[in-house]
Amino acid sequence: MRKQYQGSCHCGKVRFEAKLDLMAGTGKCNCSFCSKLRYWGAMVQPEDFRITAGEDSLGNYSFGTDSAQHCFCRLCGLHVFGRGYVEAIGGEFRSINVACLDGLSDTERAALPVSFADGRADNWWQSPAVTAHL
């Protein structure tokens, strides 16, 4: 069931709201960026995502094909969400950092379904052999 969530960076400067169904799945990846950051994402339709504060405080990091911008708060450094365009996943997207959602209990977070992607091998549709570290 889709639900409206609020989220923020650590210092609270950057805030967002997103309407999504977390039980539809979240994801973790072992690519060089996500594994170092330990990013835990959930996909959001662009029209269901809105920055509510701090857009002027966002920094962006892009690499490789530049198909995604990894957005972070320039004050506290927390990576809040990503945005970009990848045809293979349906075009324009937003990916919120599940860890940035406000008000979720540890029990609720632990119950979320997680799928894994082997981004390190550019095998995005397969789970890597080892996932415990993600």
Alpha carbon distances (Å) from 43 to 67, 84, 102: 15, 11, 17
Q: Is residue 39 part of a domain?
A: yes
Asked if the model's pLDDT at residue 99 lies above 90, the reply is: yes
Q: Per the structure, how many domains does the chain have?
A: 1
Rounded CA-CA distance 113/124 in Å is 17
Q: Is residue 78 part of a domain?
A: yes
Q: Is residue 126 part of a domain?
A: no
Domain enclosing residue 10, as ranges: 3-119
pLDDT in tens, 38-68: 999 999 999 999 999 999 999 999 887 877 8
Q: Is residue 50 part of a domain?
A: yes
Q: Is residue 40 part of a domain?
A: yes
Average pLDDT over residues 30-44: 92
Q: Is the pTM of this model over 0.75?
A: yes
Where residue 59 sits, what CATH number does that domain have? Answer: 2.170.150.70
Give me 114's structure tokens.
């997680």
